[in-house]
Amino acid sequence: MNKRQLLSMIGAAGGATAMMMAMGQLGQVHASTFKGPIALEGGAKGKKVLILGGGVSGMVSALELSRAGYAVEVLEYQDRVGGRAWTIKGGDTFTELGGATQTCEFAPGNYINPGPWRIPTEHGGLIHYCHQLGVGLEPFQQQNYNAYLHSTDAFGGVPQRYKTIQADYYGHVSELLAKAVRQNALADSVTAEDAELLLESLRSWGALDRNMRYVKSNASASRRGWDKGPGGGLTAVPIPSEPLDVHTVLQSGLWRSIGGNLTNEHQYAIFQPVGGMGSIAAGFERAVGHLIRRNSKVTEIRQSERGVTVNFLDTKTGERLSTSADYCICTIPLSVLAQIPLNVGPTLASAISAVPYRPSVKVGLEFRRRFWEQDEQIYGGITSTNLPISQISYPSYGYGSQGPGVLLGAYTGGSISYELTAQSPAERVRRVVEWGKQIHPQYSTEFMNGVAVGWHRVPWTLGCFGIWTEESRAAHYDNLCQLDGRFMIAGEHASYIGGWIEGAVTSALDAVTRLHQHVQQAA
C-alpha cells in the first residue's frame, strides 16, 4: 500500500481529524513561515503581472504586487471571488459537474463553510490579512468536551461524551504508569527523584486518589461528569459517576479522536471569520476587487521570451478573449491546470500532473431548532463517529438563538465521497440525515433542508486540495515552485500547509517575493 492509499483509507475510517494527524506523520505538516508583512522594494520596472485565479493566493499576490507598483490583472472563472474561502447562505445557488444545481434554503443568518472552516492561531499570514482587511475573527470551537465520540462498534452505538472518554483514558494511563513506577519497572529511565515528581504529576493530571488509583470520586467526576451534579440549597450534594474500566476504554477505540485535538492546528485558540469564510473573500475583494475580471475561463496559456498571453472564454457572453502581461502567477488548482494547454519545461509539466486531489463531501443541514444546545448542552465543537459522515460540527456562532440552526452534518473522505456523489444532492442529504439520527434522534423531527458539496465535482477545483506524499515532494515540489520562464505557480498546492488557507497565503508571498527579485535582477 502506498501513502496515498493509506491516507485514503485513514480518511475513510477515521474522518478528517485522523487524516490530518496521519498527514502530519507522513510529511504534510502545518503551521507557518509567516514572520510579518512583506515589503517589495525597488519598484516594478513598469512590469505587468497576470494572475490566474481570484482565490486567496491570487488575491494576496494581486494585493502585494499592486502595492509594489506592478500593473495587475486577475482572471477568475467564477462570478465570485475567494475560491474555496466560500460561505453558502440562504438563496445561494451552485452547480456541480454534471449539471446538478442546488439552491440553499437556510434561514437568514445561518450558513455553512463548504471548504476551509477554521483558522489556527498558528496561521499568522492569514490572520495578518484578516486584521488588515477588517475581517472580524471569533473563536471556532474545535474541541468541546460535551460533544460526542461515537462508534457503531462501541457501547451499543450509544454516543459517549468526549470528556468521559478522555478522563477515563487519562485516568487509566496515569494509574498504569504509576503502578509501573512503583514496581520499579522504569528505574533505568527515571531517577528515584524524578519518579517522585512523576507520581505527583500523575495524581494531579489523572485525577487519581491518594493510593494512585483511578476510582469513582468527586475528582474523577469533576472531569468525566456526574451521576448528579452539585447544586444549591438542600438539593446540592453531588453524586459521582462510575468510571469505565480500562478494558472498555481501550476496546471502544474512541480514544482515537483525542490525539488529533493536540496538534497545532486544532489547539486552542482557533478562529473563524465572523459571518463565515466568505468574509475573507469579501475583505480581499474590498482591496483588490477592481483588479479582478470574473466569469473568465482560461483556455490556453502561452509564454514567450517577451511575455505571457492567456486566452480565455467569457462564460457569460461566450466571447473568446485574450490578454497578456510580462509575467504570470497561476493559482489554478493543479487538477484543472493539468487540462489547460500550457508551454512550460518538462520538469514543471511533470510536477503539475503529479498531485492528485482529495475527494470529499461536506453537507450542511438546517434544523428547526438548536436541539444540540437546548437538549444536549453542546455549544460548538465536533462529534466524531465511525459512520460515513465522520463528524458532526456544531455552529460556533449564534449560541442560544431560538430560530433554525445549521450544523455540518458530514465531512467525508475516501471512497464514500464518490459513492455519495453518484447520487443526487437530495439523496446525499437524505442519507446523511439517516446516519446522523444514530447520534441525534432529534434529526427525525427537526430536519428542514440541506446542501451537499462534493468537492471532486466542483468544476473549478475538482477536489478538496492537493495530496502530496514524501515521494512526490522529493521528485516534484521544488520544480513546481520554480519560476519557469515568465510563469510561476502559487496556491495551497505549492506549500507544505496543504488544505489550509495559510498554505495559499505563504505560497503567494513566497512567489511574489521571488518574482520581484527576478524583476529587480533582470532590470
Binding to a copy of itself (CB under 8 A) within 242-301 occurs at 246-247, 250-251, 253, 255-256, 258-259, 262-265, 267-269, 271
Binding of a copy of itself at residue 383 (CB under 8 A)?
Answer: no
Among 396, 421, 442, 469, binds a copy of itself (CB under 8 A): 396
**Cα gap 156→505, rounded to integer Å:** 45
- Kindly give the residue spans of alpha helices, DSSP state H, lying in 90-191: 124-132, 162-182
Among 4, 9, 13, 31, binds a copy of itself (CB under 8 A): 31
Contacts of 223 by beta carbon, 8 Å cutoff, 6+ apart: 163, 166, 167, 170, 171, 207
CA-only gyration radius of the chain, Å: 26
The strand order across the sheet containing 360-367 reads 160-161, 148-150, 382-385, 391-393, 405-413, 360-367, 447-454
Binding of a copy of itself at residue 377 (CB under 8 A)?
Answer: yes
**Cα gap 77→51, rounded to integer Å:** 12
Compare residues 165 and 387 and give the one whose CB is closer to a copy of itself: 165
Q: How is residue 477 written as a grid cell? A: 515540489
Q: In the complex, what is the shortest distance from the CB of residue 236 to a copy of itself, in angstroms, rounded to a whole number? A: 4
- Give backbone dihedrals phi and psi of 408, rounded to 5 degrees, phi first: -85, 110
**Cα gap 34→64, rounded to integer Å:** 14
Among 7, 49, 221, 365, binds a copy of itself (CB under 8 A): 221
Q: In the complex, what is the shortest distance from the CB of residue 377 to a copy of itself, in angstroms, rounded to a whole number? A: 6
Please list every residue from 124 through 163 that binds a copy of itself, using CB under 8 A. 124, 127, 130-131, 136-139, 141-146, 163
The sign of the torsion formed by the CA atoms of 405, 280, 452, 75 equals positive
Q: In the complex, what is the shortest distance from the CB of residue 196 to a copy of itself, in angstroms, rounded to a whole number? A: 9
Q: In the complex, what is the shortest distance from the CB of residue 116 to a copy of itself, in angstroms, rounded to a whole number? A: 15
Number of residues that this document lists for the chain? 523
Binding of a copy of itself at residue 219 (CB under 8 A)?
Answer: yes
Compare residues 192 and 522 and give the one whose CB is closer to a copy of itself: 192
**Cα gap 98→77, rounded to integer Å:** 17
Q: In the complex, what is the shortest distance from the CB of residue 244 to a copy of itself, in angstroms, rounded to a whole number? A: 13
Contacts of 464 by beta carbon, 8 Å cutoff, 6+ apart: 115, 357, 358, 359, 360, 455, 456, 499
Compare residues 435 and 487 and give the one whose CB is closer to a copy of itself: 487
Q: How is residue 15 written as a grid cell? A: 474522518
Around Cβ 274, how many Cβ atoms within 10 Å?
A: 12
Q: In the complex, what is the shortest distance from the CB of residue 224 to a copy of itself, in angstroms, rounded to a whole number? A: 9
Cell 512583506 belongs to residue: 38
**Cα gap 215→244, rounded to integer Å:** 9
Answer whether 139's CB lies under 8 Å from 396's CB: yes
Q: Which stretch binds a copy of itself (CB under 8 A): 27-35, 343-351, 413-421, 449-457?
A: 27-35
Site map for a copy of itself, 455-484, x if CB under 8 A?
A: ----------------------xx--xx--
SS3 223: helix
Compare residues 39 and 234 and give the one whose CB is closer to a copy of itself: 234
Site map for a copy of itself, 223-242, x if CB under 8 A?
A: x-xx-xxxxxxxxxxx----
Q: In the complex, what is the shortest distance from the CB of residue 350 to a copy of itself, in angstroms, rounded to a whole number? A: 17
**Distance, CA of 277 to chain centre:** 11
**Cα gap 74→82, rounded to integer Å:** 12
Among 73, 92, 96, 122, binds a copy of itself (CB under 8 A): 122
Compare residues 102 and 396 and give the one whose CB is closer to a copy of itself: 396
Q: Which stretch binds a copy of itself (CB under 8 A): 109-117, 424-432, 448-456, 498-506?
A: 498-506
Compare residues 14 and 278 and give the one whose CB is closer to a copy of itself: 14
Binding of a copy of itself at residue 494 (CB under 8 A)?
Answer: yes
Identify the burial level of 222 via C-beta atoms within 10 angstroms of its C-beta, where 0-12 means exposed, 13-18 middle and 19 or more buried.
middle
Around Cβ 121, how many Cβ atoms within 10 Å?
A: 15
Binding of a copy of itself at residue 312 (CB under 8 A)?
Answer: no
Residue 63's nearest CA partner among 333, 286, 327 is 286
Compare residues 121 and 353 and give the one whose CB is closer to a copy of itself: 121
Answer whether 5's CB lies under 8 Å from 477's CB: no
What is the C-alpha end-to-end distance of the chain, expressed in Å?
50
Compare residues 45 and 205 and give the one whose CB is closer to a copy of itself: 205
Among 3, 30, 150, 476, binds a copy of itself (CB under 8 A): 30
Binding of a copy of itself at residue 380 (CB under 8 A)?
Answer: yes
Q: Which stretch binds a copy of itself (CB under 8 A): 306-314, 385-393, 408-416, 492-500?
A: 492-500
Binding of a copy of itself at residue 349 (CB under 8 A)?
Answer: no
Binding of a copy of itself at residue 505 (CB under 8 A)?
Answer: yes
Site size with a copy of itself, rule: CB under 8 A = 114
Q: In the complex, what is the shortest distance from the CB of residue 260 to a copy of itself, in angstroms, rounded to a whole number? A: 9
Compare residues 32 and 391 and give the one whose CB is closer to a copy of itself: 32
Please list every residue from 161 through 200 that binds a copy of itself, using CB under 8 A. 163, 166-167, 169-170, 173-174, 176-177, 179-181, 183, 185-186, 189-191, 194, 197-198
**Cα gap 509→499, rounded to integer Å:** 17
Q: How is residue 233 written as a grid cell? A: 440549597
